Structure 1
Amino acid sequence: MTVESQVNSIENDIFSTLGDVTIPQAPPEFRSGFIGIIGRPNVGKSTLMNYLVGQKIAITSPVAQTTRNRLRGILTTPEAQMIFVDTPGIHKPHHQLGEVLVQNAKIAIESVDVVLFVVDGTSACGAGDRYIFELLYRSQTPVILGLNKIDGQPPNPEKIDESYIQLTENTPWQTVKFSAKTGEGLPHLQQILIENLAPGPYYYPPDLVTDQPERFIMGELIREQILLLTREEVPHSVAIAIDKVEETPSLTRVIATINVERDSQKGILIGKGGSMLKSVGSAAREQIQKLIAGKVYLELFVKVQPKWRHSRIRLAELGYRVEE
């Protein structure tokens, strides 16, 4: 698929999703476009997008490889509309799910207008960063290098910074230092991103912050709590299916299934006397209530799906497909 056809596909998705919603005409000199956030796992891509759009739409955790889907966050200012595409961290895949996620991240590089290559500014450039650099260097898409986590840099970070400067010295790439946690440097980053976008229309209504349906974000908020509460015991073997959402004027009832690969993982998730499942459900319910601004009843079930990460059929059933 060519870049042009990919862009047309994205635009078709947008307008079919928005339906009859009226999008205003952009003022003169208005800029717009898609910005791919690319980088290794756990460099702060999702935290960055959440901060920029001003709302939590992407889950975050200390566990690497948290993001699984290409999630769009939308920031509209008087000058521009920036559609951020948060991608899975690019890493060496160990199963079918990993291959799908990395392939989707690579496709994103060629289907956006600008790439923001995010690196961890608390450590020197490594092999993973150099691998992504080679992918981006061969691409025709403009790239901005972003050194994140400057709030955690040592007192004299010159050696760390220099390792990335040397990496990009033969490129036209701009470099920006910032902290997605504190917001330091983000106004400057935002301005550089706008300058790299071409004049264009509103793709979305100005008050929209994501194009993802609520059901998807509900599932991600449940998965986030599992990542936070179970740490390394279970996280990457989990997929969430939202089975039913029933809305009344006073309550939203959500029924969801947590899919795992082994009986032992099911036992960990349920916990003694159902304690872990109750903790996950309680924390996720609080986050979902913030999302929908209303009262939520959340019911969770746990189901064993052996080796689902290795099966294309199971991956498709759970919503993981190679983007086209």
Structure 2
Amino acid sequence: MTTDPTPPFRFGQVALVGRPNVGKSTLLNALIGAELSIVSPKPQTTRHRILGIATHEQSQIAFLDTPGLHLGGKRAMNRQLNRVARQVPEEADAIVHVIAAPRWTDEDEQVWNLVSRQEAPCLLAVNKIDRVSDKADLLPFVARITETRKYAGVHYLRATHGKGLKALLSDLVKLLPEAPAQYAEDDLTDRSERFLAAEMIREQLMLRLSEELPYATTVEIEHFEQVGKLSRIAAAIWVEREGQKAIVIGAGGAQLKAIGSQARRRMEKLFGNKVFLELWVKVRENWSDDDASLKQFGYTS
């Protein structure tokens, strides 16, 4: 009696791409089992290439979360986000094109035009299927998409609840090359705690502030020190006008205090230790349309 040989170990990079606000960051977090990439209901929450690592018995996948590829937007920041979104698929062994059911927009088409030029196979992930009241509508919707666009497979997801992830992971592993793991088994990302701290502060700005203001804000970590089991962090929130500074601070400093309190809790959960966080707000006019400022704040290499 013979036994099946152990399947070969596989490693590869998988790019998660899509237009803004389709749930790429939520999907990344669900796939790696940790709240790594920041999430908010607002488009363009993700501004960086975020690597999240999922290690299993016979595979390790380095997922690359990307900013949403979007039309319009003429500021330097918008151009930089699109550059990152276009570059990442070129690094990938496989691609997941995430869309939000039941819509296919011009921006979705722009993403397809990008991934169709890559050699890496691409899966279509139809996310937010809970928003479709009659699930029978999903099949003709996807049939119209795939009639002229050749994907390596289609998956239906509700990333917020982990639905559809097991089948997606199974298909992705089959697309990856045979190779040893490139990261330690307990690694979640290649990003530093300093970077992640800035992102978690910015997440609260996205969640708590009015519709347009978050896009005029960024976060710079000015001091990060580990003292035993305590992280001492000082961060500046940059805005573009004095009036925005007053909004971020809030009446009697209440808004800034709430932002800091929630961000600190997120950091303590992810870092696994106590955090002492200091925040203040600074003004730099039109920083998001200034290449030198973008470089200082870590948006360009």
* Cα deviation, residue 173, structure 1: 2.5
Task: Tell me the equivalent position of 2:30.
Answer: 51
Is contact 2:157–2:164 with CA below 8 Å preserved after alignment? yes
Q: Which amino acid aligns with 2:96?
A: L
Matches within 5 A, 1:124-273: 124-158=103-137, 160-170=138-148, 171-273=150-252
2:95 corresponds to which of 115, 130, 145: 115
SS at structure 1 position matched to 2:159: coil
Cα 1:255–1:172 shift into 2, 3 Å: closer
Is contact 2:124–2:151 with CA below 8 Å preserved after alignment? no
In 2: Cα distance, 1:248 partner to 1:129 partner: 46
* Cα deviation, residue 233, structure 1: 4.3
2:19 corresponds to which of 25, 28, 40: 40
SS at structure 2 position matched to 1:198: coil
Is contact 1:32–1:202 with CA below 8 Å preserved after alignment? yes
Residue 102 of structure 1 pairs with residue 54 of structure 2 = no
CA RMSD of aligned residues (A): 1.4
In 2: Cα distance, 1:256 partner to 1:201 partner: 38
In 1: Cα distance, 2:74 partner to 2:20 partner: 14
In 2: Cα distance, 1:85 partner to 1:278 partner: 32
In 1: Cα distance, 2:140 partner to 2:24 partner: 22
1:216-258 CA-to-partner distances (Å, cap 9, x unmatched) read 0000000001111113141111111111112222532110000
Is contact 1:125–1:164 with CA below 8 Å preserved after alignment? no
Q: Which amino acid aligns with 2:145?
A: L
* Cα deviation, residue 124, structure 1: 2.4
Cα 1:302–1:163 shift into 2, 3 Å: same
Is contact 2:17–2:97 with CA below 8 Å preserved after alignment? yes
Identity %: 38
Residue 306 of structure 1 pairs with residue 285 of structure 2 = yes
1:49-105 CA-to-partner distances (Å, cap 9, x unmatched) read 001101111000011110000000000101210000000000023311110111111
In 1: Cα distance, 2:62 partner to 2:70 partner: 24
SS at structure 2 position matched to 1:40: coil
Task: Tell me the equivalent position of 2:3.
Answer: none
SS at structure 1 position matched to 2:160: coil
Q: Which TM-score applies when normalising by structure 2?
A: 0.94
1:94-130 CA-to-partner distances (Å, cap 9, x unmatched) read 3111101111110111111111000002x22121111
Q: Which amino acid aligns with 1:138?
A: R
Q: Which amino acid aligns with 1:241?
A: E
1:265-318 CA-to-partner distances (Å, cap 9, x unmatched) read 101000111111011011111111112212111100101011111111110000
2:273 corresponds to which of 294, 305, 319: 294
In 1: Cα distance, 2:91 partner to 2:227 partner: 40
Q: Which amino acid aligns with 2:85?
A: A
Is contact 2:38–2:199 with CA below 8 Å preserved after alignment? yes
In 2: Cα distance, 1:267 partner to 1:63 partner: 22
In 2: Cα distance, 1:82 partner to 1:173 partner: 18
In 1: Cα distance, 2:11 partner to 2:284 partner: 42
* Cα deviation, residue 166, structure 1: 2.2
1:82 corresponds to which of 42, 45, 61: 61
1:153-201 CA-to-partner distances (Å, cap 9, x unmatched) read 212442x543333222241421111111111111000100101111011
* Cα deviation, residue 139, structure 1: 2.2
1:276 corresponds to which of 255, 260, 266: 255
Count of paired positions: 294
Q: Which amino acid aligns with 2:130?
A: D
* Structure 1: runs of 5 or more not aligned: 1-26
In 2: Cα distance, 1:197 partner to 1:252 partner: 38
Is contact 2:233–2:277 with CA below 8 Å preserved after alignment? yes
Which stretches of structure 1, 4 residues or longer, exceed 6 Å deviation after superposition? none
SS at structure 2 position matched to 1:296: strand
SS at structure 2 position matched to 1:181: helix
